A = this chain, B = another copy of it.
Amino acid sequence: MTIRVLVWNEGWHEQVDASVQAIYPDGIHGAIASGLTALLGDDVQVRTATLADPEHGLTEESLDATDVLLWWGHMKHADVTDEVVERVHQHVLGGMGLLVLHSGHYSKIFKALMGTTCGLSWRNEGEKEIVWTIDPTHPIAEGVEQPFVIEAQEMYGEHFDVPPPDELVFASWFAGGELFRSGMTFRRGRGKVFYFSPGDQEYPVYHHPQVHRVLANAVRWAEPVRGERVPREAPNQPRTWS
Contact = CB atoms under 8 A, between A and B. Distances in A.
Interface of A: 93, 95, 106, 112-117, 119-123, 125, 128, 130, 132-139, 141-142, 146-147, 149, 155, 157-159, 161, 163-164, 166-168, 171-179, 181, 186-192, 225-226, 231-242
B176 A141 contact: no
Contact of A93 (B106, B116, B130, B138): B116
Given A119-B234, A135-B187, A234-B106, A241 B113 contact: no
Contacts of A176: 239-242
A207 to B, nearest CB: 21
Contacts of A241: 130, 147, 149, 173, 176-178
A173 B181 CA distance: 12
Interface pairs A-B: 4 shortest CB-CB: A177-B241, A161-B232, A119-B232, A177-B242
Tallying the copies of this chain within the complex gives 4
B233 A119 contact: yes
Nearest to A109: B115
A179 B164 CA distance: 19
B237 A122 contact: yes
A186 B173 contact: no
A71 to B, nearest CB: 15
Contacts of A234: 106, 119-122
B136 A177 contact: no
Given A114-B115, A120-B232, A164-B167, 18 more contacts: A115-B115, A116-B232, A119-B234, A123-B237, A136-B159, A137-B225, A138-B225, A142-B226, A161-B232, A163-B166, A163-B186, A163-B187, A164-B166, A172-B179, A173-B174, A173-B178, A173-B179, A176-B239
